Every structure is written in C-alpha cells, then in structure tokens.
Amino acid sequence: MSTLAASLVDGCPRPLLPEANYPELGGDTNARFCVPIAAVGGTSCCLPCPKQHYVYPDNFQNLVHATTYVNVVGIGCCAFLLLSFAVLPVEYTRRHYLSVCLTFAILLMQMSFVIPLGNQKTQCFDKITPHDMYSSINCALSGAFLLGGGWSTVMWVFLRTLSLHLQICWQAVPGRRFFLTSQAAGWSVPVVFLAVALSVTGVSFRFGESCHINSKNGLQTFWGPLLAVAAASIVTQSITFGYCIQVYLRSLLEEKQTTELSSHLPYANSIRTVSAAQALRRVQRVVALQWRGIFVVIIILVDVVFFATVFLQFDGTTEKTPENIRAGIEWLTCVLEKNGDKNKCLDLAATLVVPEATALAVLFLLSFNGIWALILLGNYKIFTGWFHLFRDLFTKPKPNDEFVSYNARRVSEPDASYEMLDSIKNKTLSTATTNITKTSSIIKSPEPLSLSMPREYNPSTFSAQLRTRADSDVYPPSVRLRSDSSFSSPPYTPFKDITSVTGGSPQVATGAPFSPYRDSPSSLHGGNNQFSPYRDIRAETEATDYMSVYSQAPKYPPDAKIVGLAS
C-alpha cells in the first residue's frame, strides 16, 4: 500500500490520470479508457492518450510510422499511372475507364494515411481524450478519405468483376449503357454511404496515425454494406472462375468421347469438339487480356475483408463487456504492481487489443495497394511511351522531303535523270533519260508539238515525226494516246492529205494507200491491206522472198504532197 501511495499522481497511480481533471469539452470522450480504483477511494482513473503506446511494444509506433512512407510511394505510383493514362497514347497504356476509376479510388484511400504527415500535432484533444472529426480537421480529412476511398475501391472492384463476368459467361461486351451505369453507381454509392457513416457514427483516432470509424453503429452504417458489396464481388468472381473450369473440363470430356468414337466415326473428332474448343479459346483470350485486373481485384478484396475483420475484432475488444472489464483490470493491476512498466505486462495486454503482427499486416497491405495498381494495371510500355514523349520534346524534328509532282525529284537525290526534257534540253541525256522523257511528254504534256521534243525520221514520208503508235501490242495501256490530246492525231491526215494532180486540178485520192501510224497485222496474211514502215516484215512473215512483199507497197505519184508538217 505504501508503494502504491508513493506512485500516486493527483490521486491516481502511475501511469493513470484522474478523469475529474479533464472535463468533456471535445474529442471522442467515449474512447476514454477509465476505471475506478478502489485502492484510492474509488477515484476514476484513465489511461493516457494514445492508448496504443501502453499496450504495444516501444517499436510498434515506429513501424506504424513506416507504413505512412510506404503509402507515399503508393500514392506516387497511382499518380504516375493516372498521368500516363491522361498524357500517353492508348497503345502505350491500354487504358480503360474501369482501370482509371479503380486507380483513382485507390489513390483516394491511400491519401488518408498520408494526410497526418502534413500536421504532426498530437492525436489527442487532451491527455486522456483522442481527437474526433469535430475537434480536428486532420482527423476529419483522413477519416473521410479512408471511408470514401474504401467504398469507391470496393464499388469499382465489383464493377470490374461484373464486366469480366459478362464477357466470359454471357459473351456480352459492356457498352455505353454499362459505362454510364457504372459511372453513376461507382461514385454515387460511396458518397451516400460516406455521408451516412460520418453523420451517424463518425470517425476518431483509434488505431494508427489516421482516423477510423467509431465502434458505435459502425457495423450498420459502414462495415455491413461494405462487406455486402465485397461478398457480391467474391461470388461473381467465383462464378466466373467456376465457368472457366467447367468449360475446360467439358472440352476434356468431349475430346475423350470423340476419341472413343473415332473408330466408328472418322470425322467425330473434328465435328464434336469444335464448340468446346471455341469456348475454351474464347475464355483463354479474355483471361489473357484481363489477368492483371483479376489479380488486382483479388488483392483488394483480400485486403478489404482482412481489414474489416481486424477492425471488427478491435471493436469487440473495446466494448465494455464483463469479459473485457475483467481482462482490463488484470492488466491494469499488473502495470500498477510493476510500477508502470508496460513491457512486463504485454502478455496480458495482448488480450485487450489486436495482436501486433496482425495490426501491422493490415497497415502494410493497405499501403501496398498503390504499388500493386502500377504493377498490374500498368505495363512496361508506359516507360517506352514516356521516353518517346521526352525525346520528341527535346529533339528537333527533321524536315520532310516534299514531293511536288510526277517529274519532280527529291532534294536528297543529286541525279537529274528524272527532270523534264524542256528544262535540260541543252544538256546531253542518256538513253534511259530520253526514253523516260519521251514517255512523260506523250502522257502528260497537252502542249502542241515543238522542235525541242525528240523526233524520229520516217523514210516513207521523208519527214521527222514523233513516233506514236496506237496499237496495243507495242505500248501498254497506260501509255496509250488520249483522244483529246494534240498527239492523238498526226500533223496531217494520211487519207486526205495525199493529193494528185489530174488535169491541173488537185483531187483527193479515193483510195488511201496507207497510214504511217497504224499497223495492220492482217496485211501479211493476204487481203487488201496497206503497208506500214514500222513493222519488221522479215521477222513476222519468216519469208525468204520478203522483197515480193515489199513490192506490194503503193507507188506515190511524183507530184504527191504532204500537208501540215512543221517546218
């Protein structure tokens, strides 16, 4: 008794403080841990705030603080992923509104663990009372982000699970209607339940460095609906996995059946297994595209269920039940007997709180959600896209070579062999250059015949004319003369320009002897056909006496004239 009296502080044994010295002016007064001490006359003595310093080892607070910096890394990962979705092209990010919204929801949830870093003030309103959302703006913001972000994350996990279920099990691709519905439900439902939870239950500093929902009516306003949506996601995901397993097993059974029937039906294997094989390939394609999202959904659902289970257990240990009061008195008696040394009574304190390993596991799992989002919802091509983006920003683009027209050459080509003949008529051209220029002039130029253009001497008409043959077996269809071009007709009409003088008056020859621009292939096989100076009579007739054929050429009168030639 003398030892206890020596350790009294304002009427209460150490480390307890008298409740009478701290009136209820603010904070979460329901979270006070106070018991009457019979040894000091029944005075109500309370455990100092924060309580976790006295029921956990000394290094526990340092580990809790370390999880805050892990959340900073997670927030950086989420911010980088969202910025990549907004800036980079879709071929680098493969963004989808389900991934974007889920990443943003995770960012909101992790903001709750980082907000306390901006204000390093104490978590307590006074020495025995923790802050709540009405006495601390820091508590209000961290609690709102935690509840709202948690609700948003669970809702978008459910919507993503539902989308995958529709694609695999019902072969339905979610369209615009699903997009609008998911946007409305994914953000409105969290806002509604956040408002209900804050107005009915409230948040306060209970565990860690951020505020959590209070135990009073917390199950009805927050944990119950949240776990219901999480359970719906788990059921939907289980049905989807069950369908995938069923399709795989059915394909194996049908393959076995067709193998047994193959001796009687030669084509049974190709006929009976096509439907199962197609279904299996379709499921494999969808799973191959969505496996990252599936893993994100599983991780978040595990975190949410684990987090809810731990906090519901924590709420159970803080309720004023006979069992909890008896355990609390045993621990307090031990602390008083050890003169306030908590380390000697940690085994008894373990029955009052969540185990240390479990509490740290919850905090670290929640902190890693942002990192998992970057790993699973992103891909390595994002870094390639950022590299290309910065390279294009700091690298001067090269000027493009401009192609002006058909006969224009690029600046980088020193050879002038494709220029027009008129621009280089004073230069010496090669044979290939002349042929290209002649073809280009025949096809493109609508100008009249000029002396600068290449000509060919015609021995029958004793003049130099542009060689323009109209038969298709000489020139391809793309090089044929146009009917409206000045080169489609010769400078004279061969059937009307050859005149004869009979009795001093010119008359048009009734029987046109030949046309120097047309070849008649039937002239060598008999018939009354004309002679053409452009055909090789030796090669086509293979006759030894080709001179007899040549003698069939018509004889012009000595006074024949050719009209319309260029001088």
Shared domain for 42 and 122, answered yes or no, is: no
User: So what's the pLDDT on residue 546?
Assistant: 47
Alpha-carbon span 139 to 560, nearest angstrom: 116
What value does the mean pLDDT take over residues 10-22? 83
Q: In this predicted model, what pLDDT tens digit does every residue of 181-194 receive, in sequence order? A: 999 999 999 999 99
Shared domain for 26 and 165, answered yes or no, is: no
Alpha-carbon span 377 to 81, nearest angstrom: 8
User: So what's the pLDDT on residue 176?
Assistant: 94
Amino acid at 381: K
Structure tokens belonging to residue 319:
């309720």
Question: Do 188 and 195 meet the contact criterion of CB atoms below 8 Å apart?
Answer: no
What's the first-to-final CA gap in the chain, in angstroms?
Answer: 143
Question: Do 150 and 203 meet the contact criterion of CB atoms below 8 Å apart?
Answer: no
Given a cut of 80, whether residue 524 has pLDDT beyond it is: no
Local confidence band at 448 (pLDDT 50, 70, 90 cut-offs): very low
Shared domain for 219 and 368, answered yes or no, is: yes
| Residue 225: how many other CB atoms lie within 10 Å | 18
Higher-pLDDT residue of 222, 117: 222
Q: Is residue 426 part of a domain?
A: no
Domain span at residue 19?
Answer: 8-52
Q: Is residue 217 part of a domain?
A: yes
User: So what's the pLDDT on residue 42?
Assistant: 74
Shared domain for 205 and 134, answered yes or no, is: yes
Shared domain for 220 and 98, answered yes or no, is: yes
Shared domain for 13 and 113, answered yes or no, is: no
Q: Is residue 517 part of a domain?
A: no
Shared domain for 16 and 98, answered yes or no, is: no
Shared domain for 181 and 316, answered yes or no, is: yes
Structure tokens belonging to residue 354:
């969540």
Shared domain for 134 and 26, answered yes or no, is: no
What value does the mean pLDDT take over residues 424-429? 42
Structure tokens belonging to residue 339:
């003169």
Model pTM?
A: 0.66
Length of the chain: 567
Q: Is residue 467 part of a domain?
A: no
Q: Is residue 372 part of a domain?
A: yes
Shared domain for 295 and 281, answered yes or no, is: yes
Shared domain for 38 and 85, answered yes or no, is: no
Alpha-carbon span 288 to 152, nearest angstrom: 26
Shared domain for 12 and 68, answered yes or no, is: no
- Of 18-32, 188-202, 337-351, the poorest mean pLDDT is in 337-351
Q: Is residue 562 part of a domain?
A: no
User: So what's the pLDDT on residue 471?
Assistant: 44
Cis, peptide link before residue 23, omega less than 30° from 0: no
Given a cut of 50, whether residue 284 has pLDDT beyond it is: yes
Q: Is residue 419 part of a domain?
A: no
Which of 392, 421, 447 is the endpoint of a domain? 392
Q: Is residue 139 part of a domain?
A: yes
* CATH code of the domain in which 304 resides: 1.20.1070.10
Q: Closest Cα to residue 363, out of 299, 312, 303?
A: 303
Given a cut of 50, whether residue 19 has pLDDT beyond it is: yes
Could you give the number of structural domains in the chain?
2
Indicate the average pLDDT of the chain: 74
Given a cut of 80, whether residue 116 has pLDDT beyond it is: yes
